[in-house]
Structure 1
Amino acid sequence: MNKKRGKQTIVFAAPPVAISTANIVGPMEGEGLLGKFYDRILEDNLHNQSSWEKCESYMLEWAIKSAIAKKQLTPEDIDIILAGDLLNQLMSTHFAVRSLQRPFLGLYGACSTLAESMLLGAALIDGGFADNVAIGVSSHHDTAERQYRFPTEMGVQRPPLSQWTVTGAGGVVLSVAGQGPKVTAATIGKIIDMGIQDPNAMGPAMAPAAADTLWQHLQDTGRQPAYYDMIFTGDLGVFGKALVIELLKEKGLDITNNYEDCGCMIYKESQDPHAGASGCASSAVVFTGYIYQMLLAKNLKKILFIATGSLHSPTSYQQKESIPCIAHAVAIEMD
């Protein structure tokens, strides 16, 4: 069977199963719209750690280990760990996985890292190279602010376009067999750069990449948006979400009836996240919590999950570069 479809899509011959998920969030996320879907809510953003970065590593380690333990597995049952975060040199991830002592591939796709990890994990399992793959991603509001913008102690006023980086981590275990939703197809995104230079405007910067990947997925598979109960993007926020809808309308597609953005689902308006949520953990905590539970309950049976990533760095911003963006998609279905 030819597993490649069209230009950018893989259809898995033996779809891997997402047998388990786990998530952990900070207090602001716990007080938001999806509080009941989180496994654990921290009381503060440090959790007795000496730095925000150490807290982020703790969350990621906890999420991966918890996802493994939920199915009575041990780290020794995991063939490969795929994980990443937002920080330079994957700082949070490397310290998080060192205690697990398993084969490891660190991945950086910015906020697209969960979908990137899931599509690569599914390919490894479908290709016969692994039986069990553990996936984990994390972000932390204060570590991201320190690296990408300003130290939080400065109290810099955020512009309306800005989004609030999610403090949290999500873990997923993909397996060759078991009960749960299956990863049936994946579309690998390509870099889309529309020339936006403002790092606060990540939603509008990433929206064209999300629209491009969604359009290509539909072209490659021959499907219409209505094939899916829901289409979820990662962390475009209110402005990016609206732009995706408009970009696809220009192509003759209407996704308004079955489309939502994870960045619009996490916080209450009264929490003042401005344009919504962002960060690796934005899509991760929504997928490992709300979406996964909806799939298990069969309230959703077919979804397309498109995680988006803004691939700029503090150095590229200081050199006045524009923002390259990417989006990867995974189709997830319940039997």
Structure 2
Amino acid sequence: MVIKSGTIQFKENPSIASTGVVVGPMEKKSTFAESFDVILPLENEKGQTYEQANTHFIEKACKESLRKGHEKLENVDVFIGGDLVNQLSPTNFAARQLAIPFLGVFSACASSVESVILGSLLLESGNATSVLAGASSHHPSVERQFRYPLEYGTQRAGTSQWTVTAAGFALLQKHAKNAPIITHATIGRVIDGGQKNPLFMGAAMAPAARDTIERHLANTNSRMADFDVIMTGDLGKIGLSILKEMFQDENSGVILQDAGAQFYGEDKFFKAGASGAGCSAAVFFSHVFNQLKSGVYKRVLLVATGALLSPLTFQQGETIPCIAHAIECRMEKRG
């Protein structure tokens, strides 16, 4: 393993053996809906709180990943995950049910990639052979915590993004057959562009995405054109346009994409697009994973972005510090 200015080169090339993505009813409107494993008809079952429902989504996504990877839960060494609810309680409660060693992480909507980086480090060091890693978000519970309860019926700003109800988890293994591998990762730095508007997250997170992408390209001696796609998540439509303006590379218009911008297509109901820790996790572990497996994508850079604010810091007048973590994936066939 080699580390240079926050960029890690994995010598063992950890594999994404399988993935599980479970989403809610609104997510059937997603342009990626055909790639999701399970679309549940309700955001919560009878008698469940929204937070309990979030836990249910996590458990189901983990089990789906294990089922597709033909792996038993007892063979998983570590479970790594995060969400957006206070104290990661949905993920904590899912870990209680899974009953395997657990690491909870929080980088807001960048938590999925942070989880994968930590899992890859455990595999690289030889201290694990199988790791479950990912993240989730749940629309009603997140809206209640960060903005307003749904019953309030508040108007949404044109720059706002829709928090998706989704859980996306990957089964990481050291030498999986015919699976995408993780060759590099770049750990994000906390970047604060001075934004204070919690309904304009794309503008707040774009500088962090730029910093991570630039460092990754420089540290791996790569150009934007070397990738089939560099996908962020989730800047949304406006944040993605800001990010493209930040780059002078002539390839940025095509290669730079964003999970949040594409999640609901051009449906104006969702304003500037999608968001939530489960948004990028759902897209990365379904659509992008499938494109790598099928050979459509040969080399991708997945950059999950997170806004590190809380309702309290917003009320105190703080700006919104942000972070972006990246993993570079390629398809490598192993016998």
| 1:186 partner amino acid | A
Per the alignment, in what secondary structure is the counterpart of residue 184 of structure 1?
strand
Q: 1:226 maps to which residue?
A: 225
Q: 1:65: Cα distance to partner? A: 1.6
In structure 1, give the amino acid aligned to 2:141: T
2:3 and 2:47 map into 1 onto residues whose CA distance is 46
Indicate the residue corresponding to 1:206 in structure 2: 205
Decide which of 40, 45, 52 is 2:43's aligned counterpart.
Answer: 45
Alignment of 1:23-102 (within 5 A): 23-102=21-100
Question: Equivalent residue for 2:242?
Answer: 243
Give the TM-score taking structure 2 as reference length.
Answer: 0.96
- Whether contact under 8 Å (2:15, 2:180) holds in the other structure is yes
Distance (whole Å) between structure 1 residues aligned to residue 155 and residue 57 of structure 2: 28
* Paired letter, 2:133: I
Query: Is contact 1:248-1:254 (8 Å) kept?
Result: no
Partner amino acid, structure 1, of 2:267: S
Structure 1: segments with no counterpart, 5+ residues:
none
Whole-Å separation in 1 of the counterparts to 2:137 and 2:67? 22
RMSD of Structure 2 on Structure 1 (CA): 1.1
Separation in structure 2 between the aligned mates of residue 35 and residue 119 of structure 1, nearest angstrom: 26
**CA shift at 1:68, angstroms?**
1.4
* TM-score computed with the length of structure 1 as normaliser: 0.96
- Cα separation, 1, equivalents of 2:229 and 2:251: 13
CA distance in 1, matches of 2:54, 2:226: 37
What is the 5 A alignment of 1:1-335?
A: 3-5=2-4, 7-179=5-177, 180-249=179-248, 254-270=251-267, 272-335=269-332
Say if 1:245 and 1:254, in contact at 8 Å, map to a contact too: no
Ranges of 4+ aligned residues in structure 1 off by more than 3 Å: none
Q: For the residues of structure 2 that align with 1:311 and 1:223, how far apart are their CA atoms?
A: 29
How far apart are 1:271 and its partner, in Å?
5.5
Per the alignment, in what secondary structure is the counterpart of residue 60 of structure 1? helix
CA displacement 1:182-213 (0-9 Å, x = unmatched):
01000001000011111111011000000010
Structure 1 194/17 Cα, relative in aligned 2: closer, same or farther at 3 Å? same
Is the Cα contact below 8 Å between 1:138 and 1:281 reproduced in 2?
A: yes
Q: Give SS of 1:284's match.
A: helix
CA shift digits 1:264-288 (9 cap, x unpaired): 1211333611000000011011011
Question: Does the CA contact (< 8 Å) of 2:14 and 2:182 recur in 1?
Answer: yes
Task: Provide closer, same or farther for how the CA distance between residues 253 and 126 of structure 1 changes in structure 2, counting only shifts above 3 A.
Answer: farther
The 1-side partners of 2:159 and 2:193 are apart by 17
Deviation at 1:226, TM superposition (A): 1.1
Q: Which amino acid aligns with 2:96?
A: R
**What amino acid maps onto 1:310 in structure 2?**
A
Q: Is the 8 A contact 1:115 1:330 kept in 2?
A: yes
**Alpha-carbon shift at residue 69 of structure 1 (Å):** 2.2
Once residues 101 and 267 of structure 2 are traced to their aligned partners in structure 1, the CA distance between those partners, rounded to angstroms, is 43
Within 2, Cα distance between the matches of 1:47 and 1:88? Answer: 21
Equivalent pairs counted in the alignment come to 331
Aligned sequence identity (%) = 41
Which deviations, in whole Å up to 9, do the C-alpha atoms of 1:7-40 show, x marking residues without a partner? 1100001110000001111111112211111111
- 3-state DSSP of counterpart to 2:92: helix
Counterpart-to-counterpart distance in 2, 1:150 and 1:247: 33
